Structure 1
Amino acid sequence: MRFAILGPTTVDDGVGVTELPSGIPEAVLVALLLSSPRTVQLDALVDAVWADRPPAAAVDSLRNHLSRLRRFLGPVTAERLTTRPSGYLIDLDGASFDVAEFLALSRQGRRSAAEGAWAEASASLTAAQVLWRGEPLAGRSFGLDLTSRLHGLREERLLVQTVRIEADLYLGRHQELVGELSDLTATQPLHEPAWRQLSLALYRAGRQADALDALLRSRNLLDEQLGLDPSPELRELYQRILNQDPALDAGFGQGSAGIATPVSGPADLVPRPADPVSGSADPVSGSADFTSQPAAKDEPQPMAEAGTGAVGVAQLPALISDFTGRDEQIGFLSDAIAARSGRAGQVPVAVITGGGGLGKTSLAVAAAHHVSGLFPDGSLFVDLHGMDATTKDPAEVLGQWLVDLGTPAGSVPVDAEARQARFRSLTHAKRLLVVVDNARNAAQVLPLLPAASGSAVLVTSRSRLAELPAAARLDLKPLSGTEALSMLEELVGAERLGAEPEATEDILRVCAGLPLALRIVGARLQVRSSWPVHTLATRLDDERRRLDELSIGDLAARASFEVGFRSLPPGPHPESAPATVFTLLGLVTGPDITVDAVAALAGIAIGDAEAALDVLMDAHLVDSASPGRYHLHDLLRDFARELATPTDGEAEDSERVSTRSAALTRLVNWYCHAASAAADQLATRTADWDLLTRVPVAAVVPSFADREAAWSWFGAESANLQAAVVCAEAYLPGSQAWVLASQLVLFASQSRRWAEMAATFTVALRCARRVADLLGLARILSVLGYALGHLERYDEALETARQGVEAAERVGDPKLLITACNCYGWLLLKAERPREAVTQQEKTVAALREINEPEQIAAGLADLAEALAACGEHQAAVGCLQEALLLARKAATPYIEASILNALGAAHDVSGSGAEAVSLLTDAARLRGAIDDRAGQGESLLRLARVLAGLGRSPEAAAVWNQASALVDELGGEDLAELRADVEQTVMAATEQAD
């Protein structure tokens, strides 16, 4: 199996090669391939494939495109496209992918070049270039994420070509390179390495005049398009060619002047000190000024002397060897600086912000090296230690910089303002790049800004520095999965990681894209070369010791987080202090949390919670993916959990236990009331047994205007609610776990999340047994029985339901007993014991008629009808369903009505009344759609498609099947997926027959 996107998108399944037609399905496949092995969320796919604002029905449209994609791929390949609870994933295990091959060859070739193995470098990089058959998704525009990924690939392609040409120049292949370099400079006119390489190739080919002309054309282009002077390397090469420097011809194996061998990315394009061409000890003098205004096209001007504008300060740190990725961010910063540098009166300031461990300093250094050619007077660098107790005073920094710029130490002014004035005077006519690392606030940075419009400033900080005037701001995020893997491969070796892909994936998940964590893991594996990768992965999997494992020497993830935590300001009250709120967030195990839930957790007002969260966001200790929702990445969560709970060997502090228990009680109780309010909108609940009186709440509970609002809330909070059940059972001594679980029954059943439901209610059952609560046992056993039955775990389900009946009988509540008996009867039917099921359901209906609640009787009759139909008594089943339909309509319960319409339609289909079945199933699908019962709507549409296909109405059947399939893609679930597969065969067979 092979996927290829570097050109037209193709899939080779071993039988033949399929080229995908251009359009959204192709873009979806490319987005999934570039993200593999990561799952891509549905909203992320929407953002990826639509360039502008997505259409109103983007999600539904995307599901249809996913169905089309599956058909394009064919059954074998489509199996690799899987639906996950959080999105979609394409599995590349055992398959090849041209992008992965390209990147591997690129790394191999650049590594060979760094080692001076030019023949091997040329071979690897040529092989990488051959993989490109054209432009990916050519001629179309897509969303920012996909566009940036493709841009990054194109940048890597240019880098590969540049280094391969460098290798070929070292191998003496200058004659054959002239044509390629002429084309490259025409398509990439601002790519200076290409002009340097072209001029050297021309000179070595005996074309001195053409070589000089090429350099002059590059000067004119830089001036016309960017208003920039040529780099020192270009000026020096001009003089050497002009003076026919013998070093340029020495053996043809000396490389191109000023060209570096990039190892990790564009930021590595810096001169090699040992290069005999660019590193000559004695600069060649010249007479004319290359940096003057461009000459007329028929009057080419000579270059300036190499010594003009010599660098006075060069304080940039070396780029760390394992730096990788961040190409998009480097490009953003470089463009921002280049576009604004030189404007009259303007000093462009670019600000990089982000939390600890994200690699802000490394990125700033890489970006600074990338643009250093724009600043011939050099660079200044300072680490302000803004979050430390040893933070530097700007006046102290200025005093050192004045000395660095040539001021005698004894002449440095004492007064801070005088130092600022002297600094501005010294830098007024210079073109300097200033890098200010680790600033605490804007006040630390402002005095350090130079006065010259040709200078620029890069600033890094954990704070957002909103008050600092900036030409560009970059809020740094964790590395992408591809970037993180590439970084780890640089440290550990691709072969070693490739031998243990699952362990590698576990490590990448734990490190969460943080360069610091990856660097620590890489260093530990480097010094433990005999360790299998899975040994460290297993140790990192233990949340209690994870931060201990992420430490080596002076590098420690915990220490990085502590810096930001210690710098948090105090709040107006201890309970609403940002540090207190952050610590309590360590108790939360769900994927995210809303601001009103945070208020409940901390026992504070919503406004105070918002204020604390804003501070935490500014400190990059929490993040927010959407307004009002907050989350911590996994390592920060581990750090917060350490603050809230004891570590191994630490005595449990009674005050901390009390604080933790009170906070969790407030949060879980709030979830109970919020979930109950939402469940009230999903269906009428005739019995709640006053459960909410067991979980008093003081915080403000949300209200829901209608079913749609409630359904949306459940969808957003489902994972958080399940996590809260687990947390309550682990830490709270009361009945909160099973009480909260009982509020989730309607949503879980209506959304058919049976596996999640079974896991959650197993935990709830443990709680009910622990507190010996008969009501909880009866309630939870019956619901768990339903979930296990839907998962076809019938033996376990029947025993669970039987225990539920026993518990309900002991409670003595008739409604509870009816629920338990109904569950048991339904399971008997599923276990293929239909006659026993009929007997059980008849008892249930009789008991329901005694309490005389139409809605409940209707539901019981529907279940009895299903059991009768299983016994072959179809007329009796239809009779039960018709009575049930009248009762459901009388009770105005659309959810039950829709379910009965669906069952009636299926019954008529079995009995051969196709037209009646179409009408009933159409009504069922329409009603289920109106009440947002998407799983039920999908089932009704699939059954309708099958009936239509059986009636020979193939076009209608195909249209309905596509609509249903999109719902199945969205919802997942084995039962719907199996029904879809069954119906698809019927629909496709009918379509082929019609054709």
Structure 2
Amino acid sequence: MSDQSLADHLRFYRLRAALTQGELAERTGVSVRAIRDLERGRALTPHVRSLRLLADGLDLADSEAAQLLALGAGNRTVPAAEVRDEREFAFPSASAGFVGRQSELSWVLEQAEAAGDAVVTRVGVVHGPPGMGKTSLVLTAAHRLREHFPDGCHFVDLGGMSKDPLSAEQAAGRLLRSLGVQVRALPTDPAELFGHYRSLLRERSVLLVLDDAGDAAQVRPLLAASAGSFVLVTSRNVLPDLDGAQRLDLGLMDHEAAVQVLTGIVGDQRCASEPAAVAEVARLCERVPLALRIAGRRLASRPEWSITGFAEQLADSANTLSLLSAGNLQVRAAFELSHRQLSPEAAVMFRRLALAPGRDVGLDLAARLAEQSTATADVALSELADASLVRPGGEPDRYSFHDLLLLFAGEKLAASSDDVEACRQLMIRWLLTKAITASRFFHPDDEPLADDVAVFGDLGAAERWLDREADSWLGALRLAVARERHADVLELAHAMHWYSDHRGAGETWLEVYGAGLDAARVVGTAHDVAVQLNFVTWTLGFVFLRYRDALLVGEEAIALTERENDVIELAWAHLYRSVLKGFLKDLDDAVSSGQRALELFQSAGYETGVTIACNAFGDALVAAGRVDEGLRYQREAIARHLAVIGPRGGSSDDNLASIYLSHSDTLLRNGEVGDAGRAIDQAERLLSTGSVWGRASSHHMRGKYLLALGHDEKAYDELSVSMELVKSTSRRVQLLTMLADLAEKLGRPDEAREHRVRGVALLGRPDLTLNRAETAEIAAALGVPIEVFIN
């Protein structure tokens, strides 16, 4: 099934038919408002009859009509299963409003089914942070499993998080009573009690639900049932020392299920009147079931409240946890139960993690925050993970927690005697210093310093750290900006140049270099300002494709560097101007600026700049129709790079790969297909794994090369990979047009239609940078009127 929405498909089909919403309404009898809501994605449960009328009115093919109906049906809510009468089943009631968690529920049911074939008692542990709905999940499963266990289903609340949890003996006594043993007949000696418990269960097939286990010691003596039995345990702790158990880590709900929980409590009609506000409340509740239930109850008990107003109050982090309280249900209290079990070291770690600027944290940063040794921090984090107060990340020694727990940790930090601002300032400097150290490995002109090697070892380790800790060092930069630490901000922005060339998101670099420019204007020299102006020019023009905005900043850089006689930065400014003018088809200016950049770098004796300028000048010459001259300069760029800089790896390799890719495009244009293929091979060998832009370009060029050879199927695959890597809206829509045409040629009309649907959706986006002629050409290729997109 396509990842595109019903809204995108309906809009595509209407535009393809050259119909306005009013004309489609008149043709089908479906109201304009209904059509508008469908195209905006506001109609979550569209009527099948309306979709059929629209399909007929749009003259859709059978396959297209079927897909439209399927997309509409995909939005429907499946009613919750009917819960059995509690009087028939000696168990706590399951939640009648249980929604979502279908895959998790299936897991529990599958574990129970497997218990029938097991040679020992099967044990399933459902663990997760406070408020995730562990008990609700297992009770819903237990009610469905009633008939699978003819000898009984039994439940006991172990109270593991309470001040007075049940001992294993007390739990065994309660279970024996539920098995029909009279209180007066219960043995008083623990050994006899457990012996009687084991003898009763040995020949029975039962379901035991042991809720809220504090540790494995509470659970282990109760695992005495027969081989056909199933013991289902819930716990905030992972219970890693409970051998042989199958585990389910219960995390946050998905967004749709979270909205369904709220809607089920607050009411369909009220939620339908403020759908955006309901979605925002679900987001602010972090999709935590307990928080959602509390928010829903508060709204349900106050029918006069606006959901939008409640969402605005909830968005104030100072009030969030207090607002998430309804009667005896409190998010803060649920968190407190787990927090009070922590060791002193883990408690310090938990509250200090509130200072971490990223969405997750590594062991080295956590140790720095808690002012603990690495070994102590490792033990503390493991304790927090076992208690489900942090979650292990996708890599070893990385952890995260959701925003509500983060707010709770912040409250604990504020109530402590810790010097919060001193801790934060130390963290900022540590992160920025480490990021600056890592970024120095990417400078093509300098060998790494011995001190830098002592920290990271090599370029690969430096790259992994920068990629992994991107949220953290960028968060530290933001904190430094807020505290007017201009020198630190400028140092980081200056250091990131070569690392940023082929890595990271454009928004990151616009923020980094925008902050660097602001800092340079306060504490920097004219040279510092020029450097940051050039970086901003690069980001706007080469990452965001905002060519004219980039040129405006670049002209400021040229004026400043000419006035200050800053030759190298003037050369960079002209180089960027050459490429931008080429993008805008101002080819004479592109050639003259490219030549000027090359001459300036040569006069300064800056070989790295000469190499890059040779390639840029060659590109400008090729665009201007002077292909032979352009090829000569591209070849000179490759030769200079290999002779002067050498294939040292890292950023230098990515830069050389970029030159090879540019060269391959020119070779294809010149009909030298074999040489183009060899140039692409060279580029692919040189690209680093972190160069997303480079990999997107290499797949794009490989696709064009295969097209030139007539290998349409392989070309389609390569261009599809490039499509998934490219971030620019303009480049994506151009690739989608190529893919649509290729899909038609390969006899895949459904795929061609999907590409066109996606292309039309992108053509309407405000970040599109295509000019009128380019937009008209692509709109025509996609089969929709250009007037829709150009006013």
Q: What's 2:686 paired with?
A: 931
User: Cα 1:755–1:406, aligned 2, differ >3 Å: closer, same or farther?
Assistant: closer
1:592 is the counterpart of 2:360 = yes
Match of 1:754 among 480, 491, 506: 506
Deviation at 1:409, TM superposition (A): 5.6
Q: What's 2:715 paired with?
A: 960
Deviation at 1:657, TM superposition (A): 0.9
Contact kept? 1:921, 1:944, Cα under 8 Å? no
Distance 1:454 1:804 in 2: 77
Contact kept? 1:901, 1:923, Cα under 8 Å? no
Distance 1:433 1:319 in 2: 15
Match of 1:639 among 408, 414, 424: 408
User: Cα 1:591–1:451, aligned 2, differ >3 Å: closer, same or farther?
Assistant: closer
- What residue ranges of structure 2 are gaps of 5+ in the alignment? 18-35, 49-65, 648-652, 748-791
Contact kept? 2:363, 2:374, Cα under 8 Å? yes
Distance 2:741 2:557 in 1: 40
1:666 is the counterpart of 2:437 = no
Match of 1:789 among 541, 550, 559: 541
Contact kept? 1:381, 1:434, Cα under 8 Å? yes
Deviation at 1:569, TM superposition (A): 2.1
Residues 70-109 of structure 1 aligned to structure 2 (within 5 Å): 94=38
Residues 241-252 of structure 1 aligned to structure 2 (within 5 Å): none
Deviations for 1:626-648, whole angstroms, at most 9, x for unmatched residues? Answer: 2323222232233334444x5xx
Distance 1:653 1:838 in 2: 64
Q: Which amino acid is 1:617 matched to?
A: A
Contact kept? 1:942, 1:983, Cα under 8 Å? no
Tell me the TM-score normalized by structure 2: 0.73
Q: What's 1:326 paired with?
A: 101
1:264 is the counterpart of 2:80 = yes
- What residue ranges of structure 1 are gaps of 5+ in the alignment? 1-25, 38-68, 78-91, 106-132, 138-152, 161-262, 274-310, 571-576
SS of residue paired to 2:335: helix
Contact kept? 1:838, 1:868, Cα under 8 Å? yes
Q: Which amino acid is 1:853 matched to?
A: Y
Match of 2:677 among 918, 922, 929: 922
Deviations for 1:410-467, whole angstroms, at most 9, x for unmatched residues? Answer: 6665554454455556666766544322121122234445566676533221112233
Q: What's 1:613 paired with?
A: 381
Contact kept? 1:934, 1:967, Cα under 8 Å? no
Deviation at 1:617, TM superposition (A): 1.4
SS of residue paired to 1:270: coil
User: Cα 1:854–1:398, aligned 2, differ >3 Å: closer, same or farther?
Assistant: closer
Contact kept? 1:924, 1:937, Cα under 8 Å? no
Contact kept? 2:638, 2:656, Cα under 8 Å? yes
Residues 703-714 of structure 1 aligned to structure 2 (within 5 Å): 703-704=457-458
Q: Which amino acid is 2:338 matched to?
A: G
Deviations for 1:14-34, whole angstroms, at most 9, x for unmatched residues? Answer: xxxxxxxxxxxx6xx4xx58x
Contact kept? 2:286, 2:403, Cα under 8 Å? yes
Q: What's 1:622 paired with?
A: 390
TM-align CA RMSD? 4.8
Q: What's 2:785 paired with?
A: none
Q: What's 2:59 paired with?
A: none
Q: What's 1:167 paired with?
A: none
Contact kept? 2:445, 2:608, Cα under 8 Å? no
Contact kept? 2:115, 2:229, Cα under 8 Å? no
User: Cα 1:539–1:883, aligned 2, differ >3 Å: closer, same or farther?
Assistant: same
Contact kept? 1:941, 1:961, Cα under 8 Å? no
Distance 1:881 1:806 in 2: 29
Deviation at 1:538, TM superposition (A): 3.4
Distance 1:610 1:811 in 2: 53
Deviations for 1:94-113, whole angstroms, at most 9, x for unmatched residues? Answer: 3799xx869x99xxxxxxxx
Q: What's 2:637 paired with?
A: 884
Q: Could you say which structure has the larger radius of gyration? A: 1
Contact kept? 1:584, 1:660, Cα under 8 Å? no
Contact kept? 2:696, 2:725, Cα under 8 Å? no
SS of residue paired to 1:435: strand
1:851 is the counterpart of 2:619 = no
Deviation at 1:356, TM superposition (A): 0.4
1:443 is the counterpart of 2:201 = no
Contact kept? 1:834, 1:871, Cα under 8 Å? yes
Q: What's 2:553 paired with?
A: 800
SS of residue paired to 1:386: coil
Contact kept? 2:579, 2:590, Cα under 8 Å? yes
Deviation at 1:317, TM superposition (A): 1.6
Give the number of the structure with larger relative contact order, counting CA–CA contacts within 8 Å between residues 6 or more apart: 2
User: Cα 1:624–1:676, aligned 2, differ >3 Å: closer, same or farther?
Assistant: farther
Contact kept? 2:86, 2:92, Cα under 8 Å? no
Deviations for 1:178-223, whole angstroms, at most 9, x for unmatched residues? Answer: xxxxxxxxxxxxxxxxxxxxxxxxxxxxxxxxxxxxxxxxxxxxxx
Deviation at 1:478, TM superposition (A): 2.6
Deviation at 1:820, TM superposition (A): 4.3
Deviations for 1:380-402, whole angstroms, at most 9, x for unmatched residues? Answer: 43333222323334444555666
Q: What's 2:752 paired with?
A: none
Contact kept? 1:427, 1:450, Cα under 8 Å? yes
Tell me the TM-score normalized by structure 1: 0.60
Q: Which amino acid is 1:264 matched to?
A: A
Distance 1:433 1:986 in 2: 58
User: Cα 1:322–1:820, aligned 2, differ >3 Å: closer, same or farther?
Assistant: same
Contact kept? 1:862, 1:881, Cα under 8 Å? yes
What number of residue pairs does the alignment pair up?
691
Q: What's 1:702 paired with?
A: 456
Match of 1:581 among 327, 331, 349: 349
User: Cα 1:885–1:439, aligned 2, differ >3 Å: closer, same or farther?
Assistant: closer
1:534 is the counterpart of 2:298 = no
382-391 vs 955-964, greater mean Cα deviation? 955-964
**Which structure dedicates a bigger proportion of its chain to helix?**
2
SS of residue paired to 2:38: coil
Deviation at 1:520, TM superposition (A): 1.6
Deviation at 1:357, TM superposition (A): 0.8
Deviation at 1:658, TM superposition (A): 0.7
Deviation at 1:888, TM superposition (A): 2.8
User: Cα 1:986–1:940, aligned 2, differ >3 Å: closer, same or farther?
Assistant: farther
Q: What's 1:285 paired with?
A: none
Q: What's 1:316 paired with?
A: 91
Distance 2:743 2:465 in 1: 38
Deviation at 1:326, TM superposition (A): 3.3
Q: What's 1:860 paired with?
A: 613
Q: Which amino acid is 1:392 matched to?
A: L
Distance 1:965 1:406 in 2: 65
547-556 vs 933-942, greater mean Cα deviation? 933-942
Deviation at 1:516, TM superposition (A): 0.8
Deviations for 1:767-805, whole angstroms, at most 9, x for unmatched residues? Answer: 444555656533322111111123344554344334445
Distance 1:986 1:374 in 2: 55
SS of residue paired to 1:750: coil
Residues 99-498 of structure 1 aligned to structure 2 (within 5 Å): 264-265=80-81, 268-271=82-85, 316-337=91-112, 339-340=114-115, 347-375=121-149, 378-397=152-171, 415-421=189-195, 423-424=197-198, 433-449=207-223, 456-498=230-272
Distance 1:373 1:460 in 2: 22
SS of residue paired to 1:459: strand
Deviation at 1:668, TM superposition (A): 3.1
User: Cα 1:808–1:638, aligned 2, differ >3 Å: closer, same or farther?
Assistant: farther
Deviations for 1:706-762, whole angstroms, at most 9, x for unmatched residues? Answer: 5xx766665555455444433442357353334334444334332484344223322
